[in-house]
Structure 1
Amino acid sequence: MAGGKLTPRQKMINLMYLVFIAMLALNMSKEVLSAFGLMNEKFETANTAATETNSLTLGALGTKAADNPTQFGEAKKKADQVATITKNFYDYIGKLKADATAGVEKNKDGKLPYEAMDKGDKIDEGWFSGDGYSAKGKEIVSTMDKYRADMKAIIGNDAKYKAIVAEIDSKFNTADVKDGDGVTKKYLDYNYKGFPSIASLTKLSAMQNDVKVIEAELYNAFLGNTAIAAASMKNYKAFVMMDKSAFFQGEQVTGRVVLGRYDESTVPKAVSVVGASTSIENGSAVFKMAAGSVGDKDIKGKFTFMEDNKPVEIEIAGNYVVVPKPNQAIVSADKMKVVYRGVPNPISVSVPGISSDKVKASAPGMAAAGKPGQYNLTPGAGSDVTINVTATMPDGKSFSSKEVFRIKGLPAPTGKIRGEVAAKGSKSNLEVCTISAELEDFDFPVSVNVTQFNIRVPGQPTIVVSGNKMDARAKAAIAKASRGDIVIISEIKAKFVGLDQMPKRVASCTFEVQ
């Protein structure tokens, strides 16, 4: 249109075309400016919602940390640092937005006049100086760099946060940028220099949105990662749960194998095991208590965890068996399974691994002695006696056993004069002595009464004496004894006190006259 010679009419037409194109361009710019304004509104609305949501998420993490500081305490500490850094940077961007719109009067509806915000003088003059940054521009870049470095320092080198670190580096990178023509420009030049103020305002709101998105991702990562760590199969162990803790030889062994979490992060608020002292060690409740008497024992108690500020109780139920502790070797004389006729023989009956109250024994002449497992056996006629034992095992089944004992009569008593088998003394002492009989080296308290005995003084006829003391004839014979004579007491007859059996032949005793 501008080349060659043109007629006045053609020049007028061309001028009208230029005005028309300019008008189209002007109308498109207003539409674009309005679009930026609407986009800015959406970012600011999203940022307000994100601020509220992130605050609630941080509060939930705080509750978790209060309930379970071991598992969530470190995550809450990092989240608090993220919250502080995020707020400082978010507010800083807000001040930049306020500076960019300073002096701009809002419309009656309270909105900015987007179509009139086609200039960027305040940013161009405030952030830039010649081809470089002004002091304000340097401050902005430095603040962005510090935010990026501080956030990465909190996250560290944990591989689980790799994607978030990459996002921070990408969205808050202040390095130089090449434009579409391959020309290298500084970060602020490329993004803000020469742009309408409404466009720069929208980009700043978008940056605030990026800040809030990063904050939300980190909070959720802290919550999610702690939960993942707690649920990781690395924190589970296989536990063998026996149906009971003691089995007999030949019995079927039964139980279950279950998976249970066993790690330091699972710490209860409280734990109780009835009758035992407890402590928490490496995520487990360790208890100690006395084993007690022989037999089946129950273990009962509960774990108490805090969940959403409410106590959650988990019941503890288990059992164990107390068996007698060996304290000596068992040595049996094969020929010594003997009981004595007519006297109460103490008998103890027990079965290893079964409490005495579940063991019963019986035999002719056998009676309980007061305590479980204790009996007295008084055998009568016959040469042997069988003791039958019945026991109830922990599984409810019973078994029986028996032992055969030989029955022997009481041993023969030993005759004694003045309590001695071979006594010495004067004739006058002998005259007043009592003749007795005793079961020597016998463990049962059996008393013997002497009813008759013979006395023979050297040179004198044998005299039969009734009772256990010297009569007149015996004393007369003793009076004729000489020094050195040995007086023999023989044919001693006796009976057991309270027993319906006669003693065997009683051994003789002697007295030397001095």
Structure 2
Amino acid sequence: MALNMSKEVLSAFGLMNEKLTESNTLSTQRNSAFMAGLAEKVSEQPEKYTPLKEKADQISALSNEFNDYLDKIKAELLEGRDDPTDYEAMDKGDELDAKFFEGGVITASAQEFLDNVTKYRDGVSSAIRSVKEVEPTVADDVDKTFKTDDVKDGDGVTKNWLKYNFEGFPLVASLTKLTQMQADVKTTESKVLSALLAGQQASELSFSNYEAIVVPDKTAFFSGESFKGRIVLGRFDATLKPTKVMVNGKEQTEVTNGQIMLDFPAGNVGEREVAGELQFKEGDSIVTIPIKSSYAVIPKPNSAVISADKMNVVYRGVNNPMTISIPGVPSVNASAPGLKKLGGAGKYMMNVTTVRAREVSIKVSGKLPNGATVSDSKKFRIKDIPRPVGTVRGEDGSIKMARNAVEISSIGAILPDFDFDIKLKVTGFKFKVEGQPTVSVNGGRLNAKAKSALRKAKRGSSVQIIDIKAQLTTNAGYKLKKISPVIVELTN
């Protein structure tokens, strides 16, 4: 039986899944950097590092293959969902139960999943144990982390590992577990790569192989601020102290833990250079390492940038997408009636259906890197959805049509030239034939009385579809303006 969870718990699982996904992305970047560093070692000392690089490639390939497989499983579970971040709607585990436990029996897909876990665990564990530079405990951790033996629950009952971890759980919980497995894969790969590189540091390398890196405290500075940052060596060593440091024509003397600390006026708005050199004494000679970098000085922002993605007004009855940001400020707070923040950076959705006023103000604030607060507000006009137009077989206005075509056609309503792609559902209308009583119809097609009246109409006469009633498919409670009628001239 599926576990019952509150909406808050479901959302918490979803947020945890997002955090793990972000962490996995950073881990991937870090592991890629490790691989690039090991490749550099191979180019410098191929005989020493090639065997380690081959082993790292093997572990990386196993990790990537298993990670891609888990991505595929998650994509299949989310297939058909309009909003993969609607965690409160993921309160059931039907998708995964059907995939893994159909009829209470482990399916072929479930066995494939277990086989992939086993392949990754045994492959990585075996590869680790064959490398003397890596502690055996790392392989032990892999065996323990990806163990699929039967487990005992809190009542001491032995259960199948797959059923214990996945059967009957809400979809969002299972997705989070799969993402956690990916995090374990990334962590394992990182441990192994770190051990491979840490065990082969070449302290005898010459200073000429070092590269000076300028690391600003931030990527851009406001006019009037002081530039703050540090210079570090590509092969960082806290014990290193250069003989002499020159930056922009001035000697720098503050060195902390191998880092040259910088503090000077940022300058005027525009692109600025940091240039100079580091000098190290190596034997009887002086090795010079050039310093070359740049940074941008930008004007201090004093207003927010707020724009409606599709129009310069907001409409009642629909969700209005908004983009809200402040130049130079990484994170802002925005508030207004009906305004809701979405997952993307600066992305919001605004629904003003219940706002009675003709205007709405959006207030925005944010903190600059120096701690100062910037705030602003903008007004948007609120408008109702335009008057819809009635249609017969998708045609509107005054049209010509055969009698039998009218009889089987659907009556609809559209919003021509409206920026939002929203659908209208006709709930009823009145049908008027010349010389016949007006017929009221429920739904979007002619009923028996309307068809009877239509058959009595003369050739070339006109029939009218009037008083059309419709509603938004996404907001049935919103009251639309009166819908324009359709006049059909019969051709037979």
Is TM-score (shorter-chain normalized) higher than 0.5? no
TM-score normalised by length of structure 1? 0.39
TM-score normalised by length of structure 2? 0.40
Computing the radius of gyration from Cα coordinates, the structure with the larger value is: 1
Determine which structure has the larger helix proportion and give its number.
Answer: 1
